[in-house]
Structure 1
Amino acid sequence: MYNSRIVGLGKYLPDNVVTNDDLSKMMDTNDEWIQERTGIKERRWIKEGTEDTSAVMGAKAARIAIERAGLTKDDIDFIVFATLSPDYYFPGCGVQIQDMLEMPTVGALDIRNQCTGFVYAVAVADQFIKTGMYKNVLVIGAEYHSGGLEKSTRGRNVSVIFGDGAGAAVMTREEDNSKGVLSSHLHSEGKYAEELIVAGPSIKHWVPEILEANDPDDTSYYPYMNGTFVFKHAVVRFSEAIVEGLKTNNLQKEDIDMLIPHQANLRISQFIQRKFGLRDDQVYNNIQKYGNTTAASVIIALTEAWEEGKIKEGDNVVLAAFGSGFTWGSVIINW
């Protein structure tokens, strides 16, 4: 059985920077209020009239990752695309990537695990490679949040958090079982699904109802989050997933060279950092610049940490995420 390893990374962020002061012109909020609760200073939102969508941004990041891997589009055997904001209700973005990159008719799979999406996607790709079914798998996380946010005082608790962006990784076969993805750990607890949710549109709340109702008080189409409840669960599950991964590989917290947490809230990341006694240079955060980009956040942060030389060969890298579902998980990598 093979291991898998990441050999190419890429990211794409829209040019349009939206600061906290910009948001204060749309809703009753301010820079101090947002930074105190989330750590976010600015985010990227797709500007109206541009070509960017989740799939388009994913394709842009993918081209960079494939080139950095020293491969071509024809070398990719399979596509895994993680997002909660697909271009269409169906089909998924994975097949759009196959078309946009003019790839052979390879398989494409969409992952709908929200903030944990990229961690799940890496685990899925790893299994395809481990079994020998595929050699090179393209994994993408991309989100277009800004088009679905309620940009008003009523929606501010959610709208100030989220940003748009995409990241991509090329994973390939690794014959040295001490290198690459060592293990992945995935969990869910669906009884809390409604604590972080977009309730509509859905099969239960479908197009005729939308068209007929035209109800300005219907908020089911906007994200809802029970923030305090989510925070309390996140800090527990983040820790559990990291500990589980370390124990599986006979590692101690002192063996972590780089932790890449999902960029949900800077306060969550700081809590986890303190709990594990990690230095600032052992944890990578960029939520200050980009907000929460959900399935794209871990891969964007991983790409930036690698670009900045903060991840080196032989480093123990931990990816961890928690989000809607609830879902959570971790991936342990020897780089």
Structure 2
Amino acid sequence: MSIYSKITGVGAYVPPLTVKNSDLEKLLDTTNDWIVQRTGIERRHWVAADVSTSDLAFHAAQEAIANSGINKSELDMIIFATLSPDHDFPGTGCFLQAKLDVPGIPAIDIRQQCTGFIYALSIADNFIRSGQYKNILVVGAEIHSKGLNKTPSGRDVSVLFGDGAGAVVVSRTDVKDAKTDSFIIRNDLHADGSYAKELWIAAPGNAFTGTERLTKEMIDEGLHYPKMNGKAVFAHAVKRMAETLSHTLSESGFTFNDVDLFLFHQANLRINDKVAEIAGIPQDKIFNTIQEYGNTTAATLPLGMRDAIKAGKLKPGMVVAMAAFGSGFTWASSVFRF
């Protein structure tokens, strides 16, 4: 009998304001058909002016904790994945910790963008397998809407992103039968920083020549908005997600046919369809949410888990495979029995 970890509770939250593609047509000089054909996105949710990333995370975390069956006082750690923090410092995990009223436990922020949730899940899994902790809250949350270029020049990126949060509680479990028991089986993490500027936000930053992290000239140049080489991201995402899925399943003793449900990062429906085509995955085994939420970066996977549970697509005992790709470039996959 060995110590492993398992996902015991799942939660998610999106702000109530729904922004349809039609709402962006005049703002970004685009059309609903243009967005749907290129991305699969039909709508997304954006926050009100007074809402922060930790606010979204708080709602998701409360649901995850409630569904886990533990009391919040039993949490041993918070791991928070986000690229859109409340402030530069301290980490947003600390702000979430205060709102949850669980002082004293460690709170770690990580910044692996769209791959952040799997990175955070892997960190939690390893802390628990080491025997150091029993219950860890893993959160992915983002507010993109406050940082987008909402003019026609920013159309290619701004149509993609939504706001939202997802959370899971990861808890210690003793696996007696690996063929039936619920546990996180394997995680696979990768990065290649030589592609860092293919999808990034340059400013504010300390890599500029000068004495200020942000200047009027940077703002005038739009360096505080996200920039993306769409063709490069698409090609690498398809290749790397298919590779890491294949590797993780093989190392876990599974084939693609053994998986009951696939959850992919929700960046572009065409990426997910291409990965499915390469791997021979039938569409009825894939659960997508991009149509409703757009790309919520670190939140897409736990948000998808919550919705899959509600839809009856994710049930206890199922073998689940997740994969993600994002800025960095970073990519990762995870296989677990739910």
Counterpart of 1:143, as a letter, is E
CA–CA distance in structure 1, aligned partners of residues 213 and 78 of structure 2: 35
TM-score normalised by the chain length of structure 1: 0.96
Q: Is the 8 A contact 2:21 2:31 kept in 1?
A: yes
Q: Tell me which residue corresponds to 1:245.
A: 248
CA distance in 1, matches of 2:325, 2:91: 23
TM-superposed CA distance for 1:276, in Å, is: 2.3
Match for residue 217 of structure 2 among 210, 213, 217? 213
1:249-288 deviation digits (Å, cap 9, x = unpaired): 1111100110000001000111112222222221010100
Helix, strand or coil at the partner of 2:98: helix
Q: What secondary structure, in the 3-state scheme, does the structure 1 residue paired with 2:254 have? A: coil
- Structure 2 unaligned residues grouped into runs of 5+: none
Separation in structure 1 between the aligned mates of residue 205 and residue 336 of structure 2, nearest angstrom: 37
**How far does residue 314 in structure 1 lie from its aligned partner after superposition?**
1.9
Query: 2:148 and 2:197 mapped to 1: Cα distance?
Result: 17
Contact 2:203 2:214 (C-alpha < 8 Å) held by counterparts: no
The letter of the residue matching 2:66 is E
Equivalent residue number for residue 264 of structure 1: 267
- What amino acid does structure 2 have at the position aligned with 1:197? W
Q: Return the TM-score normalized by structure 2.
A: 0.95
Q: Which amino acid aligns with 1:9?
A: V
Q: 1:230-262, CA deviations, whole angstroms, 9 ceiling, x for partnerless residues? A: 000000000001001111111111001100000
Aligned residue pairs: how many? Answer: 332
Give the structure 1 partner of residue 116 of structure 2.
117
The amino acid that maps onto 2:107 is: A
The residue type paired with residue 306 of structure 1 is: I
- Secondary structure of 2:123's aligned partner: helix
Q: Identity of paired residues, percent?
A: 44
Report the 3-state secondary structure (helix = DSSP H, G, I; strand = E; otherwise coil) of the residue aligned with 1:221.
coil
Cα deviations by residue, 1:67-117 (Å, 9 ceiling, x for unpaired): 111111101000000000000011111111111100131001111000000
1:14-29 correspondence runs (5 A) = 14-29=15-30
Indicate the residue corresponding to 1:311 in structure 2.
314
Contact kept, 8 Å, 2:203 with 2:218, in 1: the verdict is: no
Deviation at 1:214, TM superposition (A): 6.9
Matches within 5 A, 1:168-187: 168-176=167-175, 178=178, 179-187=182-190
For residue 207 of structure 1, report the CA deviation from its aligned partner: 8.1
Following superposition, the deviation at residue 204 of structure 1 comes to 2.9
Higher mean Cα deviation, 205-214 or 27-36? 205-214
Q: Distance in 2 between matches of 1:213 and 1:199?
A: 13
CA displacement at 1:211 relative to structure 2:
4.4
Give 1:313 deviation, angstroms: 2.1
1:2 counterpart SS class: strand
Which residue, out of 320, 323, 327, partners 1:324? 327
Quote the residue 1:108 is aligned against. Answer: 107
Contact 2:139 2:167 in 1 (8 A): yes
**Residue identity in the other structure for 2:289:** N
Residue 42 of structure 2 is matched in structure 1 by 41
Q: Which residue of 1 aligns with 2:63?
A: 64
> Which letter maps to 1:213?
E
Would you say the 8 A contact 2:218–2:224 is kept in 1? no
State the partner residue of 1:85. 84
